[in-house]
Structures are given as C-alpha cells and as structure tokens.
Amino acid sequence: MENNQTVKNEVTEHIRTLIEKASSINFQGKSFVHYDKINELVTRERVTTVLKSLKVNDGRRQLLEDFVFAGTGARRLFLILASTRLLDHLSTLQQQRFNDDALPIKIVHDGAKTVVISLNTHTRHEFFSQWDMNDRDLLSLKQWELLAPKFGDKSFHFSFDADHRLPYLEREERPASDGFFGEVFLTRIHKAHLAETQWHGTVTGDSVTIAVKKAKDHKELAQFFDQEADNLQKIKVYRSPHLIKPIAAYSIGNERCLIFPWADGGNLDNYWAKLKGLNPKGADTKKVTWFIMQFVGLCSALKELHTSETENCIHGDLKPENILLFNQDGSQAILQIADLGLAAFHVEANTNMRVASGVRSGTSRYMPPEMDQHGGEKSRGRAYDIWSMGCILLELLVWFTSGYDALTRFKQRTSNYFWTKPVRDYIIHPDVESYMRLAEQKLESDSLFKDILELIRTKLLVNKANRIIARELHSKLEKIGCKCQNSPSYTASATFTYPDTKIDNRKTPPPTALISPNLEVPGQQSVVGTLPGPNLNDAATDERLEIVVVRPPDELNPGSGGTMNRELVGSTPQSCFTSVLMFQQMQSNSLHDPWQSTPDDDFARSFFEKVGWDRVKPEDHAGSPKLCSHCSTIDSSAELLPRDCDLSELQSSSFTCELCELLLDRLREAGVQPPRRITLRHTGAHIGIEGGPDLLSIYADPGSSLQQKAPLGIPRLLEPASPEHFTLLQQWLQMCDSTHSMCRRGYQEGPSNMPTRLLDVGHPLRLIDSASITADRYTALSHCWGITSQRFCTLQNNINQLKESIDFEKIPQTFQDAIIVTRGLGIKYIWIDSICIIQDDSEDWYREAAKMELVFSGAYCTLGASSSKSSVEGFLARDPPRRCLQLSVSNTCTLFVCPAIDDFHRDVELGPLNRRGWVLQERALSRRSIHYTSTQVYWECGAGVHCETLTRLRNAKAGFLGDANFPKFALEYYRDGRQLLMQDLFERYSELAFTQPTDRSVALLGLQKRMAQAFRTQGAYGIFSAYFARGLLWGRAGDPHQRMEPIVWAPGHHVPSWSWLSKLGAIKYMKLDFKKIEWATGDFKNPLVHGSPAWNGQKEENGVLPGLARPLLLVEVCHLVITFDVRDDYDFEKLRCVVVGRDKMDTWTDDQKHYALIIYPRSDINGLVYERVGVATLKASHIGDGESWVNIR
C-alpha cells in the first residue's frame, strides 16, 4: 500500500513539472497551460506508463486509454487527476461518460446536499455526491489552469465563468481609445491561443498583439454588445481584405468583450498627421498611387457591404478614425474599414441604394443633409455611406494639395457638417465650396487631383437622388487608379496654400458660391430661383417617404392618405437608445408620476364567483416546486425571501431552488447582476427592490386563510377571446356603467352624435352610413397602420363594394381581432379610421378629421392595439405564459408567486401605439379604453386603471388622460394652473411623431376644441386666446444641436410660424413666474380675439400676428440668450424682436428681463412679412429704438 502511494506521489510530481513547463502566467497573475501543449503532455505512451505504474489491469487500462483519447477525450481530466493524486476517480468518470466536454463544472452547496453542474450544458451530475468533498473541490479548482481558450478558429461566441483564465500575457491598464459603447485595450495574447490565420498584429516571442474592446458596464448597453457581436460574426464571411475581420466575442463574469486584430499603424487621420503631407516637389508619386489604390480597395469593400448576395450592410459611421492602417509584418500596408459592429444588415441583396435601415447614430460631421431634415431620427440608407466617403475623399484631397496643417484648419472651419442651411435650403458649406472653387482654379486638367475633385462635387456631395451607388463609385475610382499606375505624370503633385488670402478676407461669398443646386433636399425650393435644380418629386417611389412636401389626400396614391394613418416612422431601438431616451424624456415630463399598484379584492372576488376559480387558476403540476433550505421552511408568518439579498448566494441557490431562480431571473431583467447585495422590499402583494421596481407578484387562493397576507389575483392570464376573457371585459364595463357617473355620456344620444360611417360587425360584415340606423353603441379602434402595402382602406372606387360586404379573411389581423372583441362584447358596430373615412377624398378626410372629438368621446369604449406596430400584427396573440410557482404554506393555504407584470407606463404609455401623434387625443377623448398589450390587457376609465391580473393602478397626473370628461379632472388637479396644463399637454404632444408632418396640427383639433370649451376661450394653432401671450413663449427642447424642421404646407393650408405646430420637433415653454410677469399687450395684437379662424386657421388668409418689431443691438449679441427654432446663421442686422412680456416694475432691477419673439424678414405674395425664428430672454439694453408694426406669419 505504501509503495502504491509512493508511485502516486511520483506520478503527481512528474505531471506537475510537465504542466509547469507548459504554462505561462497571465496578466492577472494566474497560470494557464498553453493550448497546443495539451496533446504533447497527454500521449498514449505516457498514459499507458502511468496506468501501468498504478497496477491497473490490462482490460481496464485499455478502456481508460480509449476514454482519454476517443473523440473529444479526457486529456484535460487526465492531467487534472494525475496532478492532484485523484487518478483513482478516472474509472468513475469513464463509467459516467464524463469527459472534457463536461468542463468546466460548478459546485453548488445547498445545506447537506451538493450538486455538481456542467456550466456549458447545465447538466447535473449526481454521482459526484459519492466523492469526498476535498476531491470535488480539487477538481473544480485545478480545472481552470487547463481551460484557457483558443480564439480565431471556428467558434466566434464564447461565454466564460468569472473564474475562467484568459491567455493574455499583458493588457495595458489604460485604454488605447475610449468610445460611448466601450474601451479598447492593447493586449498581448499567447500565440498558442490565437489561430495562426489571425496573427495580423506584432508577433513578439510567444505573444501576438491584439485589440480587446470591453463594453462599458451599463445594463442598457448589453443589448448593443449582443447586436455588435452578431453583426461582427456576419462580417467574417465578407471577402474584401479592406474590411477588418473580428476574431471573437466573449463574456466573462459581468464583462463583455470583442477581440480584433491590432492596427499597429493607427487610423487614417493618425497617418495623415504623421506624414504631414506630400513632398511639394512631386517626389511622392508612389505614395499618391498607394493612397488611391487603397481607396479603390475601400470602395470595393463598401460595394461588397452594400450588395452582398446573401446579406447587404450599411456602415453608417464612415470617417477617417474608422479606417485603420495595418503594416502586416513589414509587407505593404493596407487600410481597412473598422467599427462595423453596429452597422445594419438586410437579408437578401438589393442594389437600390435608397433602402433605409436602423443603423446607430453616426458622427455628425460626415452626416448627409437628409438626416438633418428628419431630425436625425430617419433610418440611414446606403446613400449615407456614399456621402460620408465623399467627405473623406475631400479631406484626402485637402491633405494631398495643402498638407495636414491645412486639413486641420479645414476641419475647424467645417466642424459641424459639410453642408449648411442658411434659410430653407440645404447647401454645401461655404468653406467646403470655397476650397473646391480654389482647387478648381489651381489644379491642372486631366490630373488625378482634378478628377477626384470632379467626382466629389458632381457625384458624391450632391443630393441623395443624384448620389451614385457604391458599385459606380468603385468603378470610377478603379479607372482613376489604373491611370495612376500607368501614367506617372497623372499623379504629379499639385500643391497650393489653403486657405489663401482671398478666403481669409471673405465676409460673405456671393449667393452663387454658396448654392449647390444638386444638394437641394426633397421638397425644398431653392431661394435662388435662377439656379437650375433637379425636380426631386420625380424620384423613385421608395424615395417619397422621405419627402416633407405635403399634398392633399386626393394627390396621394390610393390608401396612402388619411388622418389616422400617421404613426411613428423609423422608430427603431437603434444603437442609441431611442427607446431609452424616450423613456427618460417621458419620465422627466411633468405629466408622468409613478403608477401606484393596489389590490382590488372585492372586484376579484365577484369575478371569481362569476367564472369560477377552477376555470382560471393555474394548472396543478406533479409535485411541489424544488426549493432550497430557506424557501422550503416558509410559513404563514414569515417573509418569502430575506430582505438582505446577496446575489452571489442567490445565484448558487438558484441551481436547486425554483423560487430563488425566479427571483434571480427577474433581477437580471431589471439589470441587477451578481456579485452585489441589495435590499428587497416586501408588501403583501409584491416583492421588489427597495426604492426600485416590483419583481414578483404574490396572490392568495380565494379560499385561503392567507387573504389578509396576500391579495387575490389571476396568476395565469386568461386566454384572449375566451369566454373568461369576455366575462372580464363585461365585468369592467358593467362596473363602470353602474358605479362611475363620470364615465357616462353627458349628452343626449342620437344620430347626430354618431360617426358618419361605422362597420356593422354582423353577417355580412359591411360599411354603413350611420344616418341609416338607430343610434346605438359602438367601439372605436386605436391602432398603428403600418406600411402602405399592409393597409386596408376605403377609397372612392371601392366604397360601394364595402357597403355590400367585406371579406373578413381579407382584412388585416388587427381589424379581425377588433371585430372579434366587439362581437364578444355584444356590440353591433365598430369605428375604424382607415375604413370609415374615405382616404383619397380630401373633403371627406378634412371633415372627418375635425370630428375626432365626437368619434372617440361617443364610443362605448375604445380598443387600443398598444403593442402592435402595424395593422397586420393583430393584438390577441400573447407572449409565452407567465411563469407561476404554487407554494403550499400549510395543508390548506396556498400562495402563487409570479413575475410582476403590472406596468401600464411601459406596456401602454411607452408602447408603439402611444408614440403616434394621433393617439394622445384618442386616449384623452375616450370615455374608457381597453388596452391590448403583449403582456396583458388593461382597462382605463375616469376611475383609474385595472389590470388583467385584477390589480388596480393609480397615477394622480397621468390619469387625466383617462378622464372620461377631459379635461375636468385635470382642471381640478391643476386648480388655477390652466396654463401649466396647456404647457404640460402640448410639450408631451410635441414629442410624438407623424408620418405626414401636416397631421401635427390636425391630430390636436379634438383636444384643442375640448380644452377651449373648458377654458371658455378661443383656440387655434395650439394656442388659446385667454393665454395667448404665454402660448407664444415656446422654444425647441432637447439637444442644442437638434433643430426643428419647418413643415411644408399644401396650397390653401397654412399654420403661422409663431405657432409651434408649424414645425416638427419637441418644444419647451419658458419657465416663468406668472405673478411677476406683465404681458406686453400693447406690442402685439392677438389674432384670435376677433373670431375663430376657419378650419383652425389653416387657410392662407388667417394667422397673421401684428407685432411691434424692434431692432437688436448687435454690439450686445454675444450676451443674448436666443433659442433659435431651425438654424442660427441669420444676418443679425435684419433680426428683430417683439416683446411679449417683461418683469413687473415692482420687481424691477437693472437686470429686468424681457421675453420676446425673434423674427426675420421674408418675402411672399403679400409683400414683406416676418416669420418667427426663435425666442429670447433679453435685457432692456439689448433692445434698440426705431420700432415699427409688422405682420408675422
């Protein structure tokens, strides 16, 4: 026995020595065995020798050898066991078929019970319970030394435990670069752990230099890491050598990382700075040719991205910093396009460059003008990349001709964009135009540089419709490259000084120098009428969605016009955080307070009596849920979970306890990850994070004695459109009808109060004129339309057919679902906007749009398809069933624990439907609404919100939108602050989106009319006569660089510039203490006091605001606080102000403030008029003498 132990010790020491020689120490001080040494250490000869020395019989030895070497084998296990004196366990592992694939393992302790789990497969291995505890721990501890991964082979995604050892010999402490999403670290990896095909960086001894991009530790960024990793994996299949190929993506513990080759030459801008410029004596022809051929290669890569046969891609952020230089071990250097992780892909190639995509926000300097036209929210198309490449080529040309210092000055002069917008038109930036004019004069014809210049100014930095596609760009550059290689004289250096004296002394170039007719944006008319420009309305059909020109509905394609088809366009959760930012904006809005959840046991009890608890309770599953030692001892007096929660301990117990697992899952969904400690909040109904969201909901069995501890509710949600579902809806309606006097209709029902048309949901399904029926109840549908091809509309050429019958199977799923619900409620009629309004009849469209107040306030209830993004999605489908744990607290007491899902703000207020501009008034004017979301159904009326879970929600401020007699409740809440109500509501409305910009003024008509009646005043243009001065003092909200966009009106309709409805974008009213302000009513004339303008004042002859215009003292201009609406590059000598209000004299100081509109002259058919261009807070010293009355339109 002693001799056998001695042999084991000798074997152990020998194997340990071999392992040590085959190992290195990583950057964290941990040893790891080189990937390529495993097979060298574990040979059949060595295994045979070891097993023989341990006296293993021949038959058994052969089995063990086959186990170690067959397939994946158990080489690592052999080394672990041999180096820890645990080889006796090799037979057990062989019998259990536990090989290297089962590594790594995690040991989970739950009291006396121990479970070993394979982390890769989550397989539980019960046989380890027979092992000695020390043996298990040794195996778990020693495994990490032999599991350092190898990157760059077939696998791309890796997920590592926090104990995993990475084969990084060094990693710089400070990042080499730092961006919004992550930091990039220069890292040296052991070359055995990187596929040789990936040795692009510097190879020094045993290490290869790589770049490791570590995502910043923010829960909101996790989704973007996953998107970036998936996109980068797709990039690997592209063939172009000018695209940087990622090596791997991995997570380790809470870190998420990406591995790239290290660009030892830096980026293109670094390289330009290093070289300074070309030799002015023309000795750099080889360098010029190299640069041109590299750009030929970059454009070939762009062509491959845009037109791949499998998937095509849009980069969306091309710039010199994203073009990297690789020296490739001393061979010819190469430029590669980088930062493709958040690009956008399209399945199926499409050579049309105008296909748009939800790409992350690009660097503004290289952004084309069409993006600004849509406030940066429009999806980027391939034309975006072409514009960006034109900008980079122009910078290359500046560097070629004038050197890096000149390029630096050029960048300073054009720091924002390569374009500007002096009035209404987008034009080439004056400094860009000036350089190109200078280059035109200085460069010789039939030269490389002249050809590059011509390509840029005629094919790249032009409007979107005239911009060439990547294939054409590559072809043209390729021809230029061939000339470079075949004709030395073609590349002769042509240097000149930039900027020259003429440019430096320039004040304002003549208009023709500023205008580039080819740059006009669709829908905008040039202010220089003598310059020709393309008619962009003749662009391809897919371009029309981008045009801001507004046409009457009768000019639209059939089905594309109409009031209620305006939903959010291009709303993608794109890189940036569109949904996160919207959430933050809405949270900051004063209309939003948290929704408070309260049980409603009385209603729940009556519902259970109506349908029977047995029909809605969760199904009984065989056996009780698996619980840990703490959770299995819960009694009726104890809390379900400890208040002090250690997430590391919770993670361990989650492997054996379903309740701990459920809590851990909910914490992860809330962005809380181990290791950390949190405090849990316990109420009878919920478990949540102290100061944070609810995580779990707790319900009692109706017959349980625990009803005093936990409320009644529905753990398993009802099947949509089931008898139980309709019973719940009818119970809500019956309760509201019988007990909520505020929700009853306050006027005589009759045909005059019915919508013009309704859908009869009987058989046959058909469109009817309401005048032909007796007044009756109807529902109204609030929904997103979706793209044109998904719409079902009434038109002048099909209305008669629809009045005869409508094929139920041919209408969109959302309409089918709404009809099913209406029938289930026992209601005969439903109003659906696209069917009940003739969409290509402008007269009918405008007439019905003005009736929205009557339609939605008169509906018996409104059905909201809150989670559906289009009419084809429907709303009766449901997410996977809610998980539910049934806990027996005693022999007769049962609790149900489920994920907390009562979140009206997330599901409804932040849902796709409520991002539509039309829906604000639809919700506010409805007496009661049934909101269908992907999570559950919500009921909303004047008494509050009810959840399908049978919980009630309340919110003092936001609840005013559910007021059946809006704005009665809001006026009681705001008391005398009607102006604050107006501000809150209009600021919120201004954040919403429309497909057709002109709908911004129409979709508010119903609300405006209702509020004007309540305020007992006139209302038009989003302003009320009683608060006219206050209503004028609005400014654009949000990012200082985010400008509003003037709406282009169809002939015959107009909203004046002093109204916030005349422009697209969010607004914010000035924060003023009304008690300390006197309104300057002598300086302007309220146009609303002389009668209500026709059709909300949107006729050309209405909306003139007479104002007393005063000059601004330009000497003080730097001290002015002006918020411009659209742009700020006006001729300040022409700017004027109209004072709207000022501090009262009893609060007068030397700093007395004046609150004014800023106006600017323009000409129209009525002669010289002024338009509002901004708002300002001024001192008296800022305002000059010489006032005159002007008309502001």
Predicted local confidence at residue 72, as pLDDT: 77
The rounded Cα 81 to chain-centroid distance in angstroms is 50
Which range, of 114-118, 324-328, 352-356, averages the lowest pLDDT?
Answer: 352-356
Cβ atoms within 10 Å of 331's Cβ, excluding its own: 8
Give the global pTM. Answer: 0.53
Question: Which residues have C-beta within 8 Å of that of residue 453, sequence separation ≥ 6?
Answer: 397, 436, 439, 440, 443
Neighbours of 805 (CB within 10 A): 12
Strand, helix or coil for residue 736: helix
How far apart are alpha carbons 250 and 210 in whole angstroms? 15
DSSP, collapsed to helix, strand or coil, labels residue 726 as helix
Residue 549 pLDDT exceeds 50: no
Q: What is the pLDDT of residue 106?
A: 93
User: How far is Cα 152 from Cα 699, in angstroms, rounded to an integer?
Assistant: 51
Q: What is the pLDDT of residue 927?
A: 87
Q: What's the rounded mean pLDDT across residues 981-1006?
A: 85
Q: What is the average pLDDT across 598-624?
A: 85
Residue 1174 pLDDT greater than 50, yes or no? yes
pLDDT at 1108 over 80: yes
What pLDDT sits at residue 537? 28
More confident residue, 1008 or 574: 1008
Please say whether the beta carbons of 394 and 461 come within 8 A.
yes
In 735-777, the DSSP E strands lie at 757-760, 766-769
Task: Using pLDDT thresholds of 50, 70 and 90, give the confidence band for residue 570.
Answer: very low
The percent of residues above 70 in pLDDT, for the chain, comes to 80
The pLDDT, as a whole number, for residue 815 is: 96
The tens digit of pLDDT for each residue in 401-458 reads 999 999 999 998 887 889 987 666 788 998 899 899 999 989 988 899 999 999 999 9
What are the E-state strand segments in 992-1125?
1019-1020, 1023-1024, 1034-1036, 1045-1046, 1063-1064, 1067-1069, 1077-1079, 1105-1111, 1121-1124
* Rounded-to-integer distance, Cα 661 and Cα 526, Å: 64
Average pLDDT over residues 871-887: 89
Using the predicted structure, report yes or no on whether residue 542 has a pLDDT greater than 50.
Answer: no
**CA–CA separation, 859 vs 929, rounded Å?**
10
Mean pLDDT of the 355-371 span: 64
pLDDT at 1146: 61
Under DSSP, the state recorded for 1143 is E
Flag whether pLDDT at 708 surpasses 70: no
pLDDT in tens, 909-920: 888 898 888 888
Average pLDDT value for residue range 382-396: 95
Q: Minimum mean pLDDT among 240-249, 731-740, 995-1004: which range?
A: 995-1004
CB contact burial 589-612 (16+ within 10 A = b; e otherwise): bebbeebebebbeebbeebbeebe
CATH fold of the domain at 168-261: Phosphorylase Kinase; domain 1 (3.30.200)
Check pLDDT > 70 for residue 60: yes
Enumerate the β-bridge partners of residue 1153.
1179
Task: Provide mean pLDDT across the span 671-678.
Answer: 81
**Which pLDDT does position 315 carry in this prediction?**
86
Give Cα 942 distance to the centre of its chain. 33
- Which of 319-328, 398-407, 537-546, 877-886 comes out lowest in average pLDDT? 537-546
For residue 213, pLDDT over 80 is answered with yes
pLDDT for res 279: 66
Separation CA 994–CA 559 (nearest Å): 16
Q: What is the pLDDT of residues 95-113, one digit of tens each?
A: 999 999 999 999 987 667 7
Supply 1029's token pair: 């001065």
Q: In 3D, which of 1033, 1002, 1023 has the Cα closest to residue 1174?
A: 1033
Amino acid at 241: P
**Could you tell me if 818 and 590 are in contact, meaning their C-beta atoms sit under 8 angstroms apart?**
no
Burial code (b: 16+ CB inside 10 Å, e: under 16) for 57-76 equals eeeebeebbebbbeeebbbb
- pLDDT tens digits for 141-155? 999 999 999 998 888
Dist. CA 112–CA 105, nearest whole Å: 19
1051 prior amide bond cis, ω within 30:
no
For range 314-334, the mean pLDDT: 82
Q: What are phi and psi of 1105, to 5 degrees?
A: -110, 105
- CA–CA gap between residue 698 and residue 686 (Å, rounded): 6
* Number of neighbouring beta carbons within 10 Å of residue 1165: 6
Give, in order, the Cα–Cα distances in Å from 626 to each of 103, 128, 657, 710: 25, 20, 5, 22
Asked whether the predicted pLDDT for residue 510 surpasses 80, the reply is no
Largest Cα separation within the chain, whole Å, is: 114
- Phi and psi torsions of 261, nearest 5°: -60, 150
- Retrieve residue 219's tokens: 């829960």
Indicate the helix (H) or strand (E) that contains 158.
Answer: strand 157-160
The domain defined by 268-533 folds into Transferase(Phosphotransferase); domain 1 (1.10.510)
Q: What tokens does 303 get?
A: 């062509």
Q: Which whole number is the average pLDDT over 117-123?
A: 88
DSSP label of 379:
P
Q: Which residue has the tokens 């003005």?
A: 850
Angle, alpha carbons 988-994-995 (nearest 5°): 170
- The structure tokens listed for 528 are 């220089």
* Range with lowest mean pLDDT among 238-247, 274-283, 792-801: 274-283
Q: Are 350 and 312 in contact (CB under 8 A)?
A: yes
d(CA 584, CA 1088): 36
What's the confidence (pLDDT) of residue 281?
A: 55
DSSP state string for 914-949 = GGBHHHHHHHHH-SEEEEE-SS-EEEEETTEEEETT
Residue 634 and residue 1124: Cα distance in Å, rounded?
63
Q: pLDDT-based confidence at 189, cuts 50/70/90?
A: very high
Residue 1141 to residue 481: CA distance in whole angstroms: 65
Alpha-carbon distance of 137 to 148, in angstroms, equals 19
- Rounded to a whole number of angstroms, the CA Rg of the chain reads 36
User: Sign of the C-alpha dihedral, residues 359, 362, 364, 366?
Assistant: negative
Predicted local confidence at residue 979, as pLDDT: 77
pLDDT at 583: 28
Q: Which residue has the tokens 């990406």?
A: 258
926 Rama class: left (phi>0) / alpha (psi -120 to 50) / beta: beta
Least confident of 81-85, 518-522, 1150-1154: 518-522
Q: What is the pLDDT of residue 854?
A: 87
Judged against a pLDDT cut of 80, whether residue 637 lies above it is answered with no
For 1061-1072, write each residue's pLDDT tens digit: 999 999 999 988
- The answer on pLDDT for 539 being more than 50 is no
- Please give the structure tokens belonging to residue 566: 């305006």
Looking at the predicted structure, is the pLDDT value of residue 322 above 80? Answer: yes
**pLDDT at position 154, please?**
82
3-state secondary structure of 706: helix
Give the chain's end-to-end CA distance (angstroms, integer): 105
CA distance 393 to 395: 5
Count H helices and E strands in the chain, helices first: 35, 50
Nearest-angstrom CA–CA distance, 858 and 779: 9
Q: Identify the residue with better confidence: 691 or 883.
A: 883
* 313/307 Cα distance (integer angstroms): 8
| pLDDT value of residue 238 | 82
Of all helices (H) and strands (E), which one includes residue 1154? strand 1153-1164
Which of 187-191, 365-369, 1124-1128 is predicted with the least confidence, judged by mean pLDDT? 1124-1128
Listed residue (350, 389, 345, 352) closest to 367, CA to CA: 389
199 vs 972 pLDDT, higher one: 199
Q: CA separation (Å) from 715 to 613, 637, 881, 900, 945?
A: 11, 22, 10, 10, 18
224-275 pLDDT, tens per residue? 666 677 777 777 778 888 998 889 999 998 888 999 999 888 899 999 999 8
β-strand pairing of 778-782 with 861-865: parallel
| Separation of alpha carbons 43 and 588, rounded Å | 66
Tell me which long-range contacts 133-137 makes (C-beta under 8 A, separation of at least 24).
Answer: 135/86, 135/89, 136/107, 137/107
DSSP letter assigned to residue 482: H
Average model confidence (pLDDT) across the chain: 81
Q: How far apart are CA 521 and CA 1161, in angstroms?
A: 23
Judged by average pLDDT, the poorest of 616-625, 713-722, 921-930, 1110-1119 is 1110-1119
Residue 483 pLDDT: 92
Give me the helix-helix angle, 382-402 and 430-442, nearest 10°: 50
Domain parsing of the chain, residue ranges: 2-148, 168-261, 268-533, 978-1004+1014-1192
pLDDT, greater one: 745 or 1125: 1125
Q: Between 1188 and 919, whose confidence is greater?
A: 1188
Predicted pLDDT of residue 218: 58
> CB of 157 within 8 A of CB of 250?
yes
pLDDT, residue 569, reads 31
Whole-angstrom distance, CA of residue 956 vs CA of residue 970: 9
Residue keyed to tokens 């199977």: 809
Helices (H), 1055-1154: none
